[in-house]
Chain A
Amino acid sequence: MPRALIVDDEEDIRMLIRLTIEIANEGLAVAGEAANGEEAIDRWREEQPEVVVLDYRMPGMTGLEVAERILAEDPEQPIILFSAYVDAETSAAARRLGIRECMPKADYDQLPDALWRHSASA
């Protein structure tokens, strides 16, 4: 049962993602939530989720920095970068780091499909 770790500093967005995943009822579950980079890394180590859904703009560490730390420890960890504003430069940097996909926040309801796609390749 693929589990996702949701990382976003906005509580409303975290709730939205969690509800979307649970209500989709496709056998996906939420492993946990984190509101910033430090929490995200701690929670990732504890929960070992199949996929990490990561916001780009957060106070303290940015999403890319969090991804870098996680991928340094486990280069195979599927990560989806989730952001309200993703430009060409950021997606290129993300791809170089090893992030699997960049999704705009507006497409949040396609998240369940994306999670399935990436957990299969885990």
Chain B
Amino acid sequence: MAPLRQRLSSTRVALLGALGVATLAAALSILVAGSEDRQAERDQRRAAASSGVAFDSALAELDRTVEAGPRLADVPEPELVSSGIVAVGRVPLDGSDPDPQSASLARGQLPAGLSLATLVERSRSALELARDTGQPLSGAPVSGHVLVATPDYGNGQAPRTTLGRRAGLQSWVVYVIATPRLLTKIGETDFAQVSLVIGGREVTGSPVNEPAVEHAETFLGQTWVLRLPVHGEPGPGAAAWAVALMGAIGAAATVAIGIRDGRMLAETVAATSALERETRAVAELGPLLQQKLDLGEVLPAVAVRLSDEFDLEHFGVELVGEDGGFVDAFAMGRRSPEGSVDVGQAGSRETVRAGVEFAVPLLRAGRIIGRLRMTSRQPLSATQLDTLRAAADLIAVATYNVELYEREQANVQRLTELDRLKDGFLGTISHELRTPITAIGGFVQLLRRQWVRLSDSERLEFLERVQRNTTSLGFLVDDLLDFARLDRHALGITPTSLDISDAVSAIVEQLTPLLGDHRVTLDVKRGVHGLADNRALERVVANLLTNAAKFSPVQSEICVSLEGDAQWVTMAVSDEGPGISPAERGRVFQRFYRGDGDAARSTRGAGIGLSVVHELVTQMGGSIDVEGREPHGTRMVVRLQAQPRTGVRLPEQGPSRVETRST
């Protein structure tokens, strides 16, 4: 504003002052002479008000016509024309030219030099936003014509999400509103000038000065403002004319001086209103970003908004990935092959030239969580860059919130799944416990009631059944207890150096009767020593064997092998059952996991055995793996340490049923 202040030197002030007084005198006399003109003015104001009403109803009629949406092409032509619509077309997805739906409408109705295709091109962002939101939207006015885009999803119902709408869009139905026609509809006007401003842009007429009556409506996503000037006509009267002439000359001089200043003022005003628009656009981002927690919906809407305001030909959002590198979360337009220029901190006076790709960091609590990449078709001032940094801050907060929300959702899902598994677990456990108890109780009762009537062999058989069920029950109870202790890491294991060959052979022998109709093969190298806890080893082998028996058909073979070298002792339990798919192999050691598919669904077993086995083996310093067999079957491989890692040999302690050997 400095140049303006220079011009306001004292002589100019005096000159302007003198001219001002003259003008004031002229004005006063005009006022005196024109009291009846005030009446005329009041009439005009009333007329302006009724024009406002006509404006409202014209827009309302347009609104109703527009509600036909994609079926607009079916609306009869006279109705369209009376609403102010001069062209209707269908825009295909592939970017080819729009196809006029109403030949007679399209023909000769648009001004020379303006075609439906041009209008569509200039309103691209309105088309995209209409597609994403499912609402008809208008583009910026071109030569007094406004293109409105209506998305057509095919079966009439817009999909519920932005991504769904993008995928479901078949074409757009577009139509063109000719604003001159609209103005004519408002009625015969006595007014020399009428101004229509759509979305802040002057559409018809010339800018109208005060005094004026304004009517504003929000229509198709933009604000339409009709300005009707109200000025009194100078009344006749020679004296008044003379004074007015003097004032007019003075005024003309003022105007001449003022025009130069005015132009500068206009430029500043234009810049201010552009800044206002841009700031408003960023302010609108706030609620937009808060509305949804789905980045897939939010980022595109943000991109369109910012691209519109800052005339961006490229907009991208990068987020920091798990490895610390930047990953594209969203991108629109072409990236520059030379990469982006970082535009530094807020408050720096850097500017950016048109067509140069630049990046603004996304910061959250002082950490960089991503970047916004942009290329504008216009040069951007330092103030505009500050505005974009403000937008970046909002986007950073939104992204952070989304991440928190997603993490929370993942947690909730995990807990729900765990709950579900536990419920199944309780049912199964009850069944698993009650079955052997019923059998034990039943056979004992039979023995008591029918003792004398039973033969010796029958009595023995019943007692064997009782014993078998007691052993099974014992294992299950041990499993349960160990499982309960898993969380507290209280399994009480003390690994010592054992003769593993003997321990394993003994366990297998003891368990074979429990394994039903299976052939059990032992392939155990003698004298293999390793680090293990006797009880834990017994539990591990028992579990693996009973699993093998449960999941393989009767008469099939179960093989137990054992061998060792200087480093490791390797024990394997194999069956000929259906096997475990590679996808499931990672999950079998999870608690409560009983497998997917029919085979596992009704098979007994509570899903705790393998998780206990895994923990026991780990605590003995070993590892366990699952392998598949050809043509089908499972092989569980347990590795234990051959000797303690510290290098100190622990005193040997064999299992109680075998005599102690010396080192």
Contacts and interface: CB of A to CB of B under 8 A. Distances in A.
Contact of A106 (B434, B443, B449): B434
B526 interface: no
Interface string B579-608: 000000000000000000011001110000
Contacts of A72: none
Contacts of A12: 439, 443, 465, 468-469
A57 B438 contact: no
Interface in B434-455: 434-435, 437-439, 441-443, 445-446, 449-450
Interface string A69-108: 0000000000000011101000000000000000001101
A13 interface: yes
Contact of B438 (A16, A58, A59): A16
Interface string B103-130: 0000000000000000000000000000
A81 B598 CA distance: 21
A119 interface: no
A95 to B, nearest CB: 19
B430 interface: yes
A107 to B, nearest CB: 9
Contact of A15 (B427, B431, B435, B465): B465
A60 B465 CA distance: 25
A10 interface: yes
B430 A57 contact: no
B435 A13 contact: yes
Given A13-B435, A105-B435, A57 B446 contact: no
A59 B599 contact: yes
Interface string A107-122: 0110000000000000
Nearest to A105: B438
Nearest to B453: A23
A57 B442 contact: no
Interface string A4-46: 0000001011011001100100000000000000000000000
Interface residues of A, number: 22
A15 B461 CA distance: 11
A20 B442 contact: yes
B434 A13 contact: no
Contacts of B445: 109
Contacts of A108: 438, 442
B439 A16 contact: yes
A84 B439 contact: no
A62 B427 contact: no
The interface residues of chain B, by DSSP majority, are classed as helix
B439 A58 contact: no
Most B C-beta atoms less than 10 A away, residue of A12, A62, A83: A12
Contacts of A105: 434-435, 438
A60 B602 CA distance: 6
Contact of A84 (B431, B450, B465, B468): B431
A57 B439 CA distance: 16
Given A16-B438, A59-B599, A60-B602, A85 B427 contact: yes
Given A13-B438, A105-B435, A84 B602 contact: no
Contacts of B603: 59
Given A10-B435, A15-B465, A84-B430, A23 B602 contact: no
Interface in B386-444: 427, 430-431, 433-435, 437-439, 441-443
B439 A19 contact: no
Contact of B427 (A20, A23, A87, A106): A87
Contact of B602 (A15, A19, A58): A58
Nearest to B461: A15
A106 B438 contact: yes
A62 B602 contact: yes
Contacts of B446: 16, 19-20, 23
B427 to A, nearest CB: 6
A10 B434 contact: no
Most A C-beta atoms less than 10 A away, residue of B439, B441, B446, B602: B602
A105 B437 CA distance: 10
Contacts of A85: 427, 430-431, 434
B420 to A, nearest CB: 15
A19 B442 CA distance: 10
A57 B599 contact: no
A16 B430 contact: no
Nearest to A13: B439
A60 B600 CA distance: 9
A51 B627 CA distance: 45
A59 B602 CA distance: 5
A113 B445 CA distance: 18
A10 B432 CA distance: 11
Contacts of A20: 442, 446
B438 A60 contact: no
A62 B603 CA distance: 10
7 contacts: A12-B469, A20-B446, A58-B602, A84-B430, A84-B433, A84-B435, A108-B442
The 5 tightest CB contacts between A and B, nearest first, are: A84-B434, A85-B430, A16-B442, A12-B439, A84-B431
Interface of A: 10, 12-13, 15-16, 19-20, 23, 57-62, 83-85, 87, 105-106, 108-109
Given A83-B431, A87-B427, 15 more contacts: A12-B469, A16-B446, A20-B446, A23-B446, A57-B602, A58-B602, A59-B599, A59-B603, A60-B602, A84-B433, A84-B435, A85-B430, A105-B438, A106-B438, A108-B442
Interface of B: 427, 430-431, 433-435, 437-439, 441-443, 445-446, 449-450, 465, 468-469, 598-599, 602-604
